[in-house]
Amino acid sequence: MAQRTILVADDEPHIVQVVALKLRNAGYGVLTACDGEEALELAHRNRIDLVVTDQMMPFLTGTELARKLHESERTRGIPVLLLTARGYAIEPEDRKTANLRGLLAKPFSPRELLAEIERELSASGPAREAA
């Protein structure tokens, strides 16, 4: 089975580092971005199976990133998990139009995030084929 690749986008380096380490230790390939625009570029240039993104980032918010991924035929099927500030509300329409599959409030448990990623990837089937 092909290794799954997760794109982690957050403008807080310590969060990227913790999440990337947890995912690599679990056997995933990891790409990282420090803002929404970089994440979008990486998603278009690489085979990504899932995106974990912060909501509040420079250039593109997490929901804007998810919406742009969903608008492109190449990246439309990539599920997105959104990290948000506690109490931040995402409109139901945003969840649907941006392919948001889950929300986790910061601070979050890396173990809980990994479990959410594994649930989503199990539900989405085999690894995406390289384009």
Across 54-73, average pLDDT: 90
pLDDT at 123: 79
pLDDT at 130: 45
Query: What dihedral angle (degrees, nearest 10) is formed by the CA atoms of 69, 71, 75, 81?
Result: 40
Q: Is the pLDDT of residue 91 over 50?
A: yes
Alpha-carbon distance of 39 to 118, in angstroms, equals 21
Cα three-residue angle 114-115-118, rounded to 5 degrees: 85
28-37, 40-49, 108-117: least confident range: 108-117
Three-state secondary-structure class, residue 88: coil
pLDDT at 122: 87
58 token code pair: 């420079």
Q: Please answer whether residues 82 and 103 qualify as being in contact, where contact means their C-beta atoms are separated by less than 8 angstroms.
A: yes
Q: Which residue has the higher pLDDT, 63 or 103?
A: 63
Across 100-124, average pLDDT: 86
Cis bond before residue 126 (omega within 30° of 0): no
Alpha-carbon distance of 97 to 21, in angstroms, equals 30
Query: What domains appear along the chain, each with residue ranges and CATH number?
Result: 5-123 (3.40.50.2300)
pLDDT at 43: 96
12 token code pair: 């807080």
